[in-house]
Amino acid sequence: MVLPWDQDPTLAAFPKTPADGQLLVLETRAKVHAMPWHRQKLTLIVSSVRHFVEERRAAGFHVEHRLADDYASGVEAFSAWAKPKALHAMAPKEWAIDGRFRALATRLPLTIHDDGGPGGHFLTTRDEFLTWVKGRKQVRMDQFYPLMRQKLGLLVDAKGKPVGGKWSFDADNREHARGVEMPTIPWFTPDALTQKVMRWVGRDDVGAWGRLEGFGWPVTRAQALSWLEHFVERRLEGFGPYEDAIRSDERFLFHSLLSVPLNLGLLRPDEVARAAAEKYQRGHVSLASAEGFIRQVIGWREFIRGVYWWLMPGLREANGLSAHRPLPDFFWAPERTGLQCVKEAVESVHDTGYTHHIQRLMVLCNYATLAGLDPRAVSHWFWAAFVDAYEWVELPNVVGMGLHATDAFTTKPYVASAAYLKRQSGLSAKGRGPAAARDEAPCARCRYDPDVRVGPTACPFNAMYWDFLDRHRERLSKNLRMRQLLTTLDRFGPEQVKAIRQTAEAHRKSLRPYEPAWAFHEDRG
């Protein structure tokens, strides 16, 4: 049985030859209406699943392709009709669906295969990660990542030591990208099958939000492989140095955009990481770029998936900073904010279903943390609006990394003032920089001033940042780096602190929730 993210014929649950068995592919009404999905996300998932069906049929397999109310009832109905001797499924990647499949397995001849390890999509089994977590004082990605490098034999010498003498070259990867030319993204023209799906998604009762036109995401393995090749050939070298950059006129920079095919199973994480390692071994890209990229794929991605199964279902409720403000309207209607960096990030999501990591973390979630937005509401938005979002990956990223609603696997909140955003978009420390930078840096075109801390013209990131440190002083003072920042805050003096509080509060009071509100059904599907 094939769920949307299992589009890999080599997975353990699937017949290897047509004589071994048939495939059951389900689309569900419940999932389509579970959230106000981005129109490109719906198109991507439905079109890729239908391409997968066509490809498997062309390879000689019998594929039973059905529309069901939800996945579990679809399996039951199929089972009652076909009376199979055995059913096989990969462990569903979503907590609620996983639970329902495990309940089914108690009354149907259903074997559930781990989605990690040999025959799985991930590089570790769920139990391997839980065993690693057990008894650890701290659960941190940088402790997990070397184990993955050694396990896969990637960028390690014969003794298992890291090539280049250290595991991470992150510190080398923080340049802004002002004036740097980027290769264009080879988007795909939708074929007849995708166009048919787009017509359906375009109906008022199906797609809810986001631009549909311009859809060009890969929907087949062949397209995904050609993107991998393009990335490794043309963009990997720039990935390292410009990984943390922000540019108004470049939405994708040197990012790979491979989360989309990876999360559908169209690419396997080990083949993606090996392609980057090979490029380095042939001397075509720097170690910092290859290592930086590999760390994301076999380190962060794998770690985040482990954390999801470790912390669910409580992770959905996490709200360690007691943040309760509803999501402001501009997350759905970007024209309603004057904050240029936030507007550009949301516009990118609206137009493509994508923003790169730094916009997700240091623009959108930074803003959400400082403004005290409710973690569950922010998570719902990410889940519905991003083309690569599934609960297993967006929830730990949003709630843990992005909003610090739990400190179970991160050291400190990822928060910053406008100074960081200016720097990453290539503006000089003082002033908004040369005229040439105006098209490239959001701060240069913003109606707020990134160099002003308080008052109506000040960038809200500034006052909200210091106000955040002040409000969460007790909790944050446990961390050495945050303690140092609190010392700076203490030097401001009472008048300045009062003005900071007033400016931050005035901004927060100006926020309005979106009307009409949409419903988010996390468990449907």
Ligand X SMILES: Cc1cc2nc3c(=O)[nH]c(=O)nc-3n(C[C@H](O)[C@H](O)[C@H](O)COP(=O)(O)OP(=O)(O)OC[C@H]3O[C@@H](n4cnc5c(N)ncnc54)[C@H](O)[C@@H]3O)c2cc1C
CB 403, min distance to ligand X, A: 8
Partners of 2 in the beta sheet? 25
Output the smallest distance, CB 373 to ligand X, in A.
12
Choice from 248, 259, 425, 503 touching ligand X (CB under 6 A): 259
Yes or no: say if 113 and 88 are a contact pair by the CB < 8 Å rule: yes
Q: Which is nearer to ligand X, 360 or 423 (CB)?
A: 360
Q: Where do the H-state alpha helices sit in 265-374?
A: 269-281, 287-294, 301-311, 340-352, 357-358, 366-371
H/E stretch holding 488: helix 480-490
446 binds ligand X (CB under 6 A): no
Tell me the closest approach of the beta carbon of residue 383 to ligand X, in angstroms.
7
Under the criterion CB under 6 A, does residue 398 sit at the interface with ligand X? yes
Q: Which is nearer to ligand X, 139 or 500 (CB)?
A: 139
Extract the tokens encoding 58.
């062309």
Burial of 392 (0-12, 13-18, 19+ CB in 10 A): buried
Minimum Å gap between C-beta 295 and ligand X is 8
CB atoms within 10 A of CB 485: 18
Q: State residue 237 phi and psi, 5-degree precision.
A: -60, -35
Q: Cβ neighbours of residue 363 under 8 Å, at least 6 residues apart?
A: 246, 341, 342, 345, 355, 421
Dihedral, 146, 148, 154, 160 alpha carbons, nearest 10: 50
DSSP 71-134: HHHHHHHHHHHH--S-EEEEPPSSHHHHHHHHHHTTTS-EEEE-SBSTTSSBSS-HHHHHHHHT
387 vs 476, which CB is nearer to ligand X? Answer: 387
Sign for the CA dihedral angle at 462, 325, 379, 474 comes to positive
Which one-letter DSSP state was computed for residue 325? Answer: B
Cβ atoms of 319 and 331 closer than 8 Å: no
Residue 421 Cβ, how far from ligand X at the closest point, in Å? 15
Span near ligand X by CB under 6 A; candidates 15-23, 159-167, 198-206, 388-396: 388-396
Asked if 35 is part of the footprint of ligand X (rule: CB under 6 A), the reply reads: no
Is 393 a binding residue for ligand X by CB under 6 A? The answer is yes
43 is a site residue for ligand X (CB under 6 A): no
Instruction: Pick from 360, 376, 422, 423 the residue near ligand X by CB under 6 A.
Output: 360
Choices 52-60, 88-96, 275-283, 398-406 (CB under 6 A): range interacting with ligand X: 398-406
The verdict on 258 binding ligand X (CB under 6 A) reads: yes
> Interface with ligand X includes 274 (CB under 6 A)?
no
- Min dist CB 227 to ligand X, Å, is 10
Comparison of 34 and 401: residue with beta carbon closer to ligand X: 401
Residue 403 in contact with residue 351, Cβ under 8 Å?
no
Kindly tell me which of 53 and 232 has the beta carbon lying closer to ligand X.
232
Using CB under 6 A as the binding rule, whether residue 401 contacts ligand X is answered as: yes
CA pair distance 145, 301, nearest whole angstrom: 10
Question: Any contact of residue 357 with ligand X (CB under 6 A)?
Answer: yes
- The stretch among 77-85, 87-95, 102-110, 381-389 that binds ligand X (CB under 6 A) is 381-389
Q: Which span sits near ligand X by CB under 6 A: 3-11, 35-43, 209-217, 392-400? A: 392-400
> Does residue 244 interact with ligand X by CB under 6 A?
no
Counting residues that bind ligand X (by CB under 6 A) gives 28
- Closest by Cα among 149, 136, 151, 35 to 94: 35
Q: Using the 8-state DSSP alphabet, how is residue 233 labeled?
A: I
Using only C-alpha atoms, the chain has a radius of gyration, in whole angstroms, of: 23
The distance of closest approach from Cβ of residue 358 to ligand X in the complex, given in angstroms and rounded to an integer, is 8
Query: Is the Cβ of residue 93 or residue 301 nearer to ligand X in the bound state?
Result: 301
Do residues 269 and 298 touch, judged by C-beta distance below 8 A?
yes
- Which of 43-51, 210-218, 294-302, 341-349 is the region at the interface with ligand X (rule: CB under 6 A)? 294-302
297 is a contact residue toward ligand X (CB under 6 A): yes
Site string for ligand X, 202-241 (x = CB under 6 A): ----------------------------------------
Residues at the interface with ligand X (CB under 6 A): 255-259, 262-263, 293, 296-297, 300-301, 304, 356-357, 360-361, 365, 382, 386, 388-389, 393-394, 397-398, 401-402
